[in-house]
Amino acid sequence: MPWQEVNGIRIYYEVYGAGEPLLLIEGLGYALWMWEKQIEAFSREFQVIAFDNRGVGKSDKPDEPYTIELMAYDAGELLNRLGITKAHILGVSMGGIIAQALALLYPKLVHTLVLVCTTFGGPHAVPVPKETVEAMLNKRKLPAREALKEAMRYAFGQEFLSRNPGELDRLVEQRLSDPLPRYAWMRQWEAILKVDLGEKVRNIKAPTLILTGDDDRVIPAQNSKLLHERIEGSLLEIFPGGGHLFFMEQAAPFNNRVLTFLKGHPMG
């Protein structure tokens, strides 16, 4: 299995397809399976590099403080180890925050940026709704399966859940098949709470596409609008009815929109 030693830990990654490199960066607590509806489509056109952030999946899970910048260094150094000097970057949720930090720390490495259902964090961002936080932190002290199901329910658009009642159970089982240590999830969560890129993102120069769903009950869509206002020249598209996981709910139009954007900015 492919690992790279990065910043004193082992990062697990997988590579698919050929062409210009496209790095995918996961969200809070999610491992590589997060991309089950993207990798096949993207790898027909690009060399897709997907990896597990520190704390999840097959990557190391040190019980020490994490920061968004540290995880951005992990991503940047992984690309360096793979001999990649320029890449398209796509990040979802926490992965989108990491992607912003990556664009600031490694501006020459980031050719384009796709920021999905994400935020710049800090006091000027719209916070995660209280009821979502309570579910994520399991304030009701439910058993593991019930707690995970309740938390993941907030990640889907309400219309999607009503039409696809079995999808939530399927993903809960998928996550439980590779359980995440609670301390590791908390390390990632604490990194999100500490980050504030609100003014720094104005310095992002890479062509940027911002995508969100208008029924996002984790990171409200207003955060994408705020990002759009701060990143000069960025494009914003809002998916009607889309929840936080709208890239799963509406995979085909999401994938097509991303591919159209990326192919519109070839490396040359």
pLDDT tens figures, 154-197:
999 999 988 998 888 898 888 887 788 999 999 999 999 999 99
199-221 confidence digits (pLDDT tens): 999 999 999 999 999 999 999 99
Q: What is the mean pLDDT of the chain?
A: 96
Q: What is the pLDDT of residue 136?
A: 94
Q: Is 268 among the domain residues? A: no
Domain count, the chain: 1
* 194 in a structural domain: yes
- Within a domain: residue 198? yes
Percent of the chain whose pLDDT exceeds 90: 87
Query: Would you place residue 44 in the very low, low, confident or very high pLDDT band (cuts 50, 70, 90)?
Result: very high
* Tokens representing residue 228 in the block: 């759009």
Spatial distance between the Cα atoms of 48 and 42, rounded to a whole number of angstroms:
7
HEC letters along 112-176: EEEEECCCCECCCCCCCCHHHHHHHCCCCCCCHHHHHHHHHHCCCCHHHHHHCHHHHHHHHHHHH
Question: Given the DSSP bridges, would you call strands 3-6 and 9-16 parallel, antiparallel or unpaired?
Answer: antiparallel
Least confident of 40-44, 76-80, 159-163, 228-232: 159-163
What per-residue confidence (pLDDT) applies to 176? 81
Instruction: Check whether 29 has a pLDDT greater than 90.
Output: yes
What CATH number should be reported for the domain holding residue 117? 3.40.50.1820
Is the per-residue pLDDT at 146 higher than 80?
yes
The pLDDT value given to residue 153: 93
Q: Is 96 within the bounds of a domain? A: yes
pLDDT at 1 over 80: no
pLDDT number for residue 144:
84
Interval 53-112: pLDDT, tens: 999 999 999 999 999 999 999 999 999 999 999 999 999 999 999 999 999 999 999 999
> Per the domain annotation, does 254 fall within a domain?
yes
- Interior angle at CA 49, CA 86 and CA 65, nearest 5: 90
Within a domain: residue 248? yes
Share of the chain above pLDDT 70, in %: 100
Q: Which domain holds residue 142?
A: 3-263
- CB contact at 8 A, 202 and 230: yes
Long-range contacts of 70-74 (CB under 8 A, 24+ apart): 70/7, 70/191, 71/98, 71/101, 71/191, 72/98, 72/99, 72/101, 72/102, 72/104, 72/105, 72/106, 73/6, 73/7, 73/105, 74/6, 74/7, 74/9, 74/11
What's phi and psi for 93, nearest 5 deg?
Answer: 55, -120
pLDDT of residue 178: 78
